[in-house]
Structure 1
Amino acid sequence: MSSPVDPTSEALNEAVQAALATVIDPELRKPITELGMVDSVSVSADGRVSLAVLLTIAGCPLKDTITADAGKALSAVPGVTAVDVELKVMDQAQRDALKEQLRGPGGQRGIPFNEAGSLTKVFAVASGKGGVGKSSVTVNLACALAAQGLRVGIVDADVYGFSVPGLMGITQAPTRVDDMILPPVAYGVKVISIGMFVTGNQPVAWRGPMLHRALEQFLTDVYFGDLDALFLDLPPGTGDIAISVAQLLPKAEILVVTTPQAAAADVAERAGAIATQTGQKIAGVVENMSYLEMPDGGRMELFGSGGGAVLASRLAGMVGTDVPLLGQIPLDIQLREGGDAGVPIVLGQPATPAAEALAGIAGQLAARPRGLAGMHLGVQPR
């Protein structure tokens, strides 16, 4: 048992400050002490801590989480007898300072993933046709990487058929700090989707220029912070969004999802072939719904076989570089159930064959080093 600490001692005040440094803002994923959110903190003679926290906006949806986390961290400090947390709101000058701290001088807008110093690996998950499980693959790969300790984000770029919030169990709306949007976080993954801005199941009926503007706003106005990997869940086919991604994120690598069926692989080939026109790389092919595992240990290939390998070979010949078949994901009712419940299978049922296949694919993506090509490291010979 820890020995009592004199409430008036410098040691207790230092312990309180150290405890506050462990309180992480749930949206910005940084300590509240670094973000200028601690307005004041004091310790009375009887060990009672009074803390005033500055919220970014008055209606911060996670204010209760911040209050609870701060109370828990401070209550664990030996010598602290009680904790009072008061919530205040940042003024405009404080918000401007926060935006400048996060975005750089002037709080400048732009696409940070295109900057010369960015090490974020961007994967545009594409498919030739709908119904191949592209969104489920995206969500599970992102969650698998986050579970490994990587910093991961998802942009649900399928504006007409958005489904990522439901698959991730997200019901919270993004927080807007002036012109900066803070994406909700689920399972350690930061997520933005047009589905967070519409009411109910309202359809989105936009033409090409509006689709481009929506994607551009997601990439410029949403603060993701420093990510190891960013996934974009693209709509099926080679339409406006695929072209916009190539323009807005020219370094994005295409990850093509198909089923084993020959017809599906033929259509998926077109989604990957866009790389020959845009100059993008193809990260690889993922074959979903590869087979159904039977009770006797056999496999039923409901959609045929070999489509993923054939597609990878065709794309390799087309782009002139190796295109790997990253993995084959079996049919699994628990994958569907997890999606309906908002709990990705890699987290909810990690021992299932489908989850293990997805984790294996994520492991291959994680093993790729964040690129340093062309980056100035500031090293000078002596």
Structure 2
Amino acid sequence: MSECNSCPSNGGCDKDKQKCMIENNPLNKVKKIIGVMSGKGGVGKSSISVLIAKRLKELGYSTGILDADITGPSVPRLVGLKDKKVISDGELMHPVDTDDGIKVMSLNLLVDNENDPVIWRGPMIGGVVKQFWTDVLWGELDYLVIDMPPGTSDVALTVMQSIPINGIVMVSVPQDLVSMIVSKAVNMARAINIDVLGVIENMSYITCPDCSKKIKLFNGESTTKFLEEMNLKLLGEIPVLNSVGNLSDPTYKNEDEDLEKVFYPIVDNVMKSLDK
């Protein structure tokens, strides 16, 4: 049975305590957990997970990132943790701290070679995800951001059922096909009674370098219609920016005013949605 007193959802959870599959480490005090999900890969989910965590840390909150995308663990490289490893004290694993103080747990911080493929079946991957929650000493955190596996696989289901997520942020790009795929992920979260905070539309437009006009690459009306039909909030739109694509560059430093202008309000919207 879940240790409810150490659960971030304690007091706002409608789960039957006797049937709850969530196990919590009583040594961890995590206040709020944000899942970042996408209907498919390649839409910038991991980059946005990292950007959310970085912004929360900039705002003064103690923050961690749990990389639950076991077969595509890109978070360590995105936060500049290449060649660093997790330490274990024999009972618990200790996450690695980034230079700006974000705690990170990822499979790539455990393996010898980050380029080696993860050739595991679903149950083993799901077991690792659970351990990243129960067997890691996260300590006291204001926010834990989970970079979830893409799609609606059994691993995504394991994350939702095994970790007390307070809300899901859905990442998409503005195409009709992707919207259909996203709807499956949204319905999956809602079926498990996890609040979908809204959608972040990545690669939403490009900005003309001469006149600063927004140029939409796809029909914006279809996106609006999709959000209305699914009763989803648009948390914000992110244009195509080099600063997002260059997160994994070891020399990366965010000096992009456009990114700050569009992304800071998105994180504000996520925080406000969690507080409702």
Report the CA distance shift for 1:339/1:304 in structure 2 as closer, same or farther (over 3 A): farther
- Of 286, 301, 305, 2:216 maps to 301
Matched, 1:148 2:54: no
1:1-382 equivalences under 5 Å are 110-112=23-25, 120-171=31-82, 172-186=84-98, 187-200=100-113, 201-295=115-209, 296-306=211-221, 308-316=223-231, 323-341=232-250, 343=252, 348-351=254-257, 353-367=258-272
Q: Is the 8 A contact 1:258 1:307 kept in 2?
A: no
* One-letter identity of the residue aligned with 2:240: L
Q: Secondary structure at the match of 1:280?
A: coil
* One-letter identity of the residue aligned with 1:299: K
Instruction: List 4+ stretches of structure 1 deviating above 4 A.
Output: 368-371
Report the CA distance shift for 1:368/1:336 in structure 2 as closer, same or farther (over 3 A): same
Q: Is the 8 A contact 1:170 1:342 kept in 2?
A: no
Q: Secondary structure at the match of 1:284?
A: strand
* One-letter identity of the residue aligned with 1:214: V
Within 2, Cα distance between the matches of 1:276 and 1:284?
12
Root-mean-square deviation (CA, aligned residues, Å) is 2.3
TM-score under structure 1 normalisation? Answer: 0.61
The sequence identity of aligned pairs, in percent, is 33
Within 1, Cα distance between the matches of 2:251 and 2:121?
30
Query: Any gaps of 5 or more consecutive residues in structure 1?
Result: 1-109, 317-322, 372-382
Please name the residue that 1:62 is paired with: none
Q: Secondary structure at the match of 1:227?
A: strand
Within 2, Cα distance between the matches of 1:266 and 1:155?
27
Q: Is the 8 A contact 1:120 1:370 kept in 2?
A: no
* One-letter identity of the residue aligned with 2:215: M
Shift of 1:342: 6.8
Shift of 1:208: 1.3
Report the CA distance shift for 1:266/1:273 in structure 2 as closer, same or farther (over 3 A): same
Q: Which has the higher contact order (CA 8 A, sep 6+)?
A: 2
Q: Is the 8 A contact 1:260 1:308 kept in 2?
A: yes
Shift of 1:305: 2.5
Q: Secondary structure at the match of 1:178?
A: coil
Shift of 1:177: 1.2
Within 2, Cα distance between the matches of 1:176 and 1:134?
28
Task: Give per-residue Cα distances to partners, 1:167-222, cap 9 Å, x unaligned.
Answer: 10102111111111111111221111111122320000111110111011100111
Task: Give per-residue Cα distances to partners, 1:9-38, cap 9 Å, x unaligned.
Answer: xxxxxxxxxxxxxxxxxxxxxxxxxxxxxx
Within 2, Cα distance between the matches of 1:284 and 1:334?
23
Within 1, Cα distance between the matches of 2:274 and 2:39?
28
Shift of 1:307: 5.4
Shift of 1:112: 4.0
Task: Give per-residue Cα distances to partners, 1:63-106, cap 9 Å, x unaligned.
Answer: xxxxxxxxxxxxxxxxxxxxxxxxxxxxxxxxxxxxxxxxxxxx
* One-letter identity of the residue aligned with 1:176: S
Q: Is the 8 A contact 1:123 1:254 kept in 2?
A: yes
Please name the residue that 2:3 is paired with: none
* One-letter identity of the residue aligned with 2:109: M
* One-letter identity of the residue aligned with 1:331: V
Within 2, Cα distance between the matches of 1:298 and 1:268?
28
Q: Secondary structure at the match of 1:141?
A: helix
Shift of 1:338: 2.9
Report the CA distance shift for 1:301/1:192 in structure 2 as closer, same or farther (over 3 A): same
Shift of 1:324: 1.6
Tell me which structure has the larger Cα radius of gyration: 1
* One-letter identity of the residue aligned with 1:263: L
Q: Is the 8 A contact 2:65 2:147 kept in 1?
A: yes
Report the CA distance shift for 1:303/1:194 in structure 2 as closer, same or farther (over 3 A): farther
